Structure 1
Amino acid sequence: MTGTRPAAPLDQAQLADALRPFGESRMLPVAAYLDDDVLAWERRHVFSGWLALGRGEDLARPRMMRAYAAGAAGVLVVRGDDGALRGFENACRHRGHELLPCDGTAENRAIVCPYHAWAYRLDGSLLGAPGFRDAPGFDPEAHPLAPVEIREWNGWLFADRGAATTFEEHVAGLDAILGRYDGAELVTCETHEYDVEANWKVIVENYQECYHCSSIHPELCRISPPDSGDNLPPQGDWVGGSMDLREGMSTMSLDGSSGGATMTRLDEVEQRTVMYLALLPNMLVSLHPDYVMTHLLTPISAHRTRIRCSWAFPRAVAETDGFDPAYAVDFWDLTNRQDWAACESVQRGMQTPGYRPGPLAPAEDGVYDFVTYMARAYRGD
């Protein structure tokens, strides 16, 4: 049975294999990771709904604006004089020039296109178009910026161009998990960008299991038992679970010690665990007792993904003189690079003529949750 969107250009029998009960299923069809036509379908039907853009702290003051990558086209987000966030397609209504380059920022009383100087108010309405004042039939009210829905949630910004669900349905169940981390009050202290030669789904699948940890993450295994924790029952558009910290370890760092401070409102369980959540399709969130790490994924091609990884800390810690986030950053930069090397090897291996989708191990139930989510999407369910 299919739903309101068309099925993806994939072998339906192989999708049915991916949807078999856990223990009997297979991975997604190999074309899901290699085929440009599948990525084009994903951009139209998966990356067209709720997408994570970045942090609300990027736009802390009125009149601040920033352009973000969002699927196949950019989104401009502006904080108005009234403090409200508004989103627009990052294209001038004149001839389509970008209002800001991707990741570009500005702070201004108006949005001004750098090409022909068309200017817009912060609510998107046209303020002025040089040379058009006396043009017959020209109506400024007919040329506002095209709106994009924006939500700010736990400190993160999201955009939507036509999701089938409300934002509340998208994040159903997550407020109870994130609530005591006070995400809106966290301060980003460092950001790294990686280009990984692998399909975005390979990266999400890697994030959903620690079956590989004993093989490639000796540093992580010294801090957190790879067979610890549990995966959570899927609810909204997310999958995830927890892992424990070993006795005597305070957080994920190279020696298990924290250079910051445990968040004050966490309960006893949260102080001893790390929660790994994939808010689909493009945000991975790692909740630590003393910091929150976020990966934002942007597919560049079927074989390449750009990842922006950031580390955020409680404001009282981040603003302390001499605070150094390196204890968290160095650990995860090393671990990230180990993961990216594995993901790139998976991508190369899937291109061999004899590769066929394999089974999932008992420890890969989190991968199963993601694979079945995508298989249902590919069928149009």
Structure 2
Amino acid sequence: MALPTASLLAPGRVVPPAPLPAAEVARAAAPFGQSTMLPRGAYQDDQVLAWEREHLLDGWVCVGRSTEIAPKGMRAESIGRSGVLLVRDADGALRAFENACRHRGHELLPCGGSSQGTRAIVCPYHAWSYRHDGSMIGAPGFREVPGFDTSLYSLKPVRVEEWHGWVFVDTSGQAPDFGSHIGQLESVVERYDADALVTPVVHEYDVEANWKVIIENYQECYHCPSIHPELCRVSPPDSGDNIELEGNWIGGNMDLRTSAATMSLDGHTEGTVMARLDEVESRTVMYVAVMPNLLISLHPDYIMSHLLTPISPDRTRIRCSWAFPAEVVEREGFDPSYAVDFWDLTNRQDWAACEAVQRGMKTPSYEPGPLAPSEDGVYHFTQLMARAYQGQQA
């Protein structure tokens, strides 16, 4: 089996090993068929999550969909150890800044908050103000202060990229260029025209499980016959293949049964197959985990994405969105519930299983177990994590 070519650590960056037993990490990094899951502490310890926030969650991280930031709008997100302010000007240009006023560091917008139609960025504490490009406009009481130079107090920029309707930021400033991060995933996603889709439904879940437990669950259907009878009716759980291409992502596809047009409770669709998909894409669902926090499910007629935000070692906030072609959403009587209801049920089945895993790992004698032959997708993920925990960059 080929290993993932990507690294979760930026090249040339000196990173200490994670605070985990080296021997246990080495067992997780062993060849497929000999390896175990990651050490218990990877899912349980505050110090490990702090290490991840410092070294893994400060590179290219997804913060949402492009449509969530309208022209002359702002949105603030918590990323890794800090906050990011996303700002779109009247011409549609998107910029990102550290979410801190240059005066006393007050957040310019509460994390998770948004605003529309803003003429300027104004700190709510002392009203220091900034243009949409981050340059300072002025500060109350400083007009007559000798030597006060507004050009010295622009907001601190953060690297930002829009890719097929998703927004990514790099708070470290040290990650490789975004094209290298995505790699050959571009060829997998491009024909879905995701940047033109409309998102009419968003659900938010708080899951009492570590963020990695959720990604590992996403990477296999070994569990599907046990907990997903509805999914198994429309997609054979042993179908499809994992894809091994360059980039900081892992994933694979699953087939639709001949009786099913898409993933819904009865296999029917209220939409249409996206215009540029080929014969294989129109009969499969592609599941992709873009490291470290975006899960994308590419269906013939819609795209579902999960945005993961670690809150604590045993709690993850998930923002799940369903996106459809605009002409489908605008159709009279269109009802997205055929897709939403199916995945809301499936999501909740998964979250219950992930929470049970999280609780089970707390038992006194728990030891990481081996991977089943069909869990090669999980192995790809644990290999990426084990190499990162060891401080390896490739």
**TM-score, structure 2 as length reference:** 0.94
Cα drift, residue 69 of structure 1 = 2.6
Matched, 1:307 2:318: yes
Asked whether the 8 Å contact 2:185–2:245 carries over to 1, the reply is no
* Cα distance in structure 2, aligned partners of 1:342 and 1:36: 22
Instruction: Tell me which moved more, 282-291 or 75-84.
Output: 75-84
Secondary structure of 1:158's aligned partner: strand
Secondary structure of 1:211's aligned partner: coil
Cα deviation digits, residues 308-353 of structure 1 (max 9, x gap): 0000001111122221110000000000000000000000010101
Cα drift, residue 228 of structure 1 = 0.3
Secondary structure of 1:370's aligned partner: helix
Counterpart amino acid of residue 51 in structure 1: V
State the match for 1:151 in structure 2: 161
2:53 to 10, 27, 43: 43
State the match for 1:231 in structure 2: 242
Secondary structure of 2:242's aligned partner: coil
Secondary structure of 2:201's aligned partner: strand
Counterpart amino acid of residue 211 in structure 1: Y
Instruction: Tell me which moved more, 184-193 or 93-102.
Output: 93-102
Which residues of 2 match residues 94-105 of structure 1 at below 5 A?
A: 94-105=103-114
Matched, 1:167 2:178: yes
Secondary structure of 2:243's aligned partner: coil
Secondary structure of 1:15's aligned partner: helix
Matched, 1:360 2:371: yes
Which residues of 2 match residues 108-119 of structure 1 at below 5 A?
A: 108-119=118-129
The root-mean-square deviation of aligned C-alpha atoms, in Å, is 1.2
State the match for 2:9 in structure 1: none
Counterpart amino acid of residue 124 in structure 2: P
Matched, 1:57 2:67: yes
Which residues of 2 match residues 15-34 of structure 1 at below 5 A?
A: 15-34=25-44
* Cα distance in structure 1, aligned partners of 2:261 and 2:219: 22
* Cα distance in structure 2, aligned partners of 1:313 and 1:327: 12
Asked whether the 8 Å contact 1:198–1:343 carries over to 2, the reply is yes
* Cα distance in structure 1, aligned partners of 2:154 and 2:166: 26
* Cα distance in structure 2, aligned partners of 1:38 and 1:370: 17
Cα drift, residue 93 of structure 1 = 1.1
* Cα distance in structure 1, aligned partners of 2:321 and 2:230: 20
Identical-pair percentage: 65
Cα deviation digits, residues 245-292 of structure 1 (max 9, x gap): 001100000000001111111111001000000001100000000000
Counterpart amino acid of residue 219 in structure 2: Q
* Cα distance in structure 1, aligned partners of 2:320 and 2:69: 18
Instruction: Tell me which moved more, 321-330 or 30-39.
Output: 321-330
State the match for 1:73 in structure 2: 82
Gaps of 5+ in 1: none
Counterpart amino acid of residue 327 in structure 1: Y
Cα drift, residue 74 of structure 1 = 1.9
Cα drift, residue 4 of structure 1 = 2.1
* Cα distance in structure 1, aligned partners of 2:200 and 2:271: 12
State the match for 1:91 in structure 2: 100
* Cα distance in structure 2, aligned partners of 1:103 and 1:94: 22
* Cα distance in structure 1, aligned partners of 2:365 and 2:68: 47
Q: Which runs of 4+ in 1 moved over 6 A?
A: none
Matched, 1:140 2:146: no
Instruction: Tell me which moved more, 112-121 or 218-227.
Output: 112-121
* Cα distance in structure 2, aligned partners of 1:217 and 1:83: 42
Matched, 1:4 2:14: yes
1:316 to 300, 307, 327: 327
Which residues of 2 match residues 116-127 of structure 1 at below 5 A?
A: 116-127=126-137
* Cα distance in structure 2, aligned partners of 1:201 and 1:10: 15
Secondary structure of 1:148's aligned partner: strand
1:261 to 243, 267, 272: 272
Cα drift, residue 3 of structure 1 = 6.4
Cα drift, residue 83 of structure 1 = 2.7
Asked whether the 8 Å contact 1:234–1:369 carries over to 2, the reply is no
State the match for 2:361 in structure 1: 350
Cα drift, residue 103 of structure 1 = 2.8
Secondary structure of 2:36's aligned partner: coil
* Cα distance in structure 2, aligned partners of 1:10 and 1:359: 19
**TM-score, structure 1 as length reference:** 0.97
State the match for 2:205 in structure 1: 194
* Cα distance in structure 2, aligned partners of 1:337 and 1:59: 28
Q: What count of residue pairs does the alignment treat as equivalent?
A: 379
Asked whether the 8 Å contact 1:150–1:160 carries over to 2, the reply is yes
State the match for 1:242 in structure 2: 253
